[in-house]
Structure 1
Amino acid sequence: MEVSNIEIPSHFLCPISLQLMRDPVTISTGITFDRDFIEKWLFCCKNTICPVTKQPLMTKLNDEDDLSLMIIPNHTLRRLIQSWCILHVSDGVERIPTPTQPPTLTRSIICKLISDAKKSTQMRYTFLQRIRSFLTSSRTKKLLVSSGAFEYVASVLTEKDVTNVEKEEVISVLAQMDGYDQELKDVMFRNDDDASLFVDSLVGSLRSESSSQQERENGIKVLRLVYSVADPTKLSNVKHEMFDEIVSILRDQISNNATKNALKLLVELNPWGRNRVKAVGSGAVQVLVELLLSELLERRISELGLVVLDQLCGCAEGRADLVGHGAGLAVVSKKILRVSHVASDRAVRILSSISRYVGTGKVIGEMMEVGVVAKLCLVLQVDCSSKTKERAKEMLRLHSRVWKNSPCIPPHLISAYPSSN
């Protein structure tokens, strides 16, 4: 909740997030925190001390069935916070809802659910639905991993009789398992045949003609999680079909999260084997240029898009596609000094690759016409990294015979043009 211009009582703020608590809970040291933040501290980060007092906690973290005893809802404080919110409704403060507490979950319950799920496809689907309903906190996710439920959920994707609705449930569960990288690696790549079936199923979830928007969004996230922990041999053996579907996610722009996960996945894959060529062959460069043309693009998406484009310009096919696009050089130049230092650095790197390897008369003339030369002169005058300035200076020197006396350079930037000596 965003609260501005109003002083919030200090005891209403979570000591970890410093934000108004929505679900205050108290731990054994007597300190109260917002549930989401203290659960992440205890169960994801595996801390065994109070973040405020630094005192050891009373309950041991390895006792999975007693994890729920570590935090106690502070109903009195929650009601006080709700009352305070109501008093300040006229100031734009929204009343925090009363949280719905998840059912108590233990290892024995999970083992029983898994045993029942193995008896029939109907019970398996019911199991997947129930597991998804339990994914409300870091504590329950940790318990699902330690009890074998996470491994069983993943294995359902490799079953011959798995249905489309079951696939959607599995992918939804896996998409919520951030932070369990090693467990994910152990499950996905234990057996080569199962790993191949698993990945093929995920790739299938990205297809627009057979999957819902939510399934596609979850599918690209799980693929990104999978390949962020994969060994180089797995990264270099990715099928061309996967790049087709990743590019389709970027083209369709179903959501910012899906776009960011698709770009992050390409960042992971591109450095290995012939993956850059495969990505280019799937139309990645054209789609990235169209994406970067958007005026309303989120900053992080612009940065990731330029990182991927920089990777693809590391191969001849990628450079050819960029200069072959009518807006390719222009959109890269436009991002310099308009998004962030990261974006500027990557944009200059891309132009450097083009200048060095595809610097034909036509390309150099186009770079001058679309404002690249003026931007490079400006880079030398503002706060950029030394490496970026050096690349800009190198390009300006390399093509000084064509560019230096060009009317395309504003008069106030001519003095910044480096000497060709």
Structure 2
Amino acid sequence: MPAFIGKAFLLCLTFLCITSQSWGQSSNNQGDSSNYEQTQLSGFSDDERIKLLLLNLLPSGMTETAAEEIAKALQLNIYNTNHFSVVGPAEWNAEIKNQDPTLADCHDIACGAMIGKLFHADKVLVGTLHSEIMFNENNEEEPSFVLSIRMVDTRTNITDFSDEVQFTDLQMHDELFRLAARISDNTLLIGSVLSTKQSRISFNIGRAQGIKTGHQLVISRRTSARKKFVNDLHDNAFQNIALAEVVQVSDLSAEAVIVQKISSVANGDQVQTYIDREKLIHLISQTRKELDTQKRLKPKQRVIRKVPSIGKESSDYANWSKRFRQTKVEHDRWLYTTAGAGGATILFLSGSIKLSGILSVLPWIAGAGTVYSGIRFFHFRDLMNELSTEGRSLGFISSSFDPIPSGFHWTPVPKGFQIAWIKRF
């Protein structure tokens, strides 16, 4: 009996140890998940501008304080393009030190990509800065700075743009302004459709972002959203549906006309373009190929007509037949009126009937009547053709034979030829 109690006690202790370890692992996993959610940092403005994270510039041959001042000037110039929402080293360093101190003061793209994902950035800008002696216009030695930058997409880790610029203290702000403009021109510009009217659209980017008349655009639509982070951050998927060309520009908006589409454009659809000419041409050509391919692959819709009941078929035929008869009466009436007015005009102009005084206006009246009645005749002739086509498609008129086309027909005879007007209904 004591041996049995000892074994039971040992089993209970073993069970408690295993259970406590499982609870501990579960608690740790939950803590890791909560910590991961808390590390999803922010700092960008909530708008459609590109979210750009600027890393610390890596200095060489100069102090870090000087590099930080140049980085602040670069950040301000990029922000002033109105294309980016920028978070600089001073902002993200203050937040990252509380979450992961090992990522603080990051200079390279390896840790920069991780920081960019934590801050939900679209792009990360990394750069190096070193001092160098250059010769000025007077062939005198002068200290200068060489700044090399590279912009990387945080989703694909692909370098979108790289550049290098050299400047002195006096040239710094001008050169950084031009560098920021080149960064903006080579980055995808994104907006949204504000309103649509027939084939015209209005969208929320304009002259301030570099849009000009004649600029081409790609219009895309959100098709799905794929869950990417634990805290429900989504990576939206878009499908290109149309191409447009700008026809009117204001400071913060513009209007464009649709030049190619595979679907109707609606409010809220995304507008994409580049300011850089080479990248814009590549974007438009790739989108045009994509739209052409989707249009060819889109299955044709076949209209399957249900066989109508006898009563409905009789009613449809009666309505069609009534419209056909009424149109034919009008057609024949204007045909005879045109022929009569034309004959009277020819008779008056031939001089066979002497006209004087107020009667001299009769040729003009007859001519005007000929023109008007001819216009009405051609109108009802087109209606007759439409009704005939409708009747054939509905099976009211047999289309098993190929009728002689309507118009004037010449028939050779021994002493000349005969001319006749033939009309098929």
TM-score under structure 1 length normalisation? 0.24
Q: Which has the higher contact order (CA 8 A, sep 6+)?
A: 2
When you count helix as a share of all residues, which structure comes out higher?
A: 1
TM-score under structure 2 length normalisation? 0.24
Larger CA Rg, structure 1 vs 2: 2
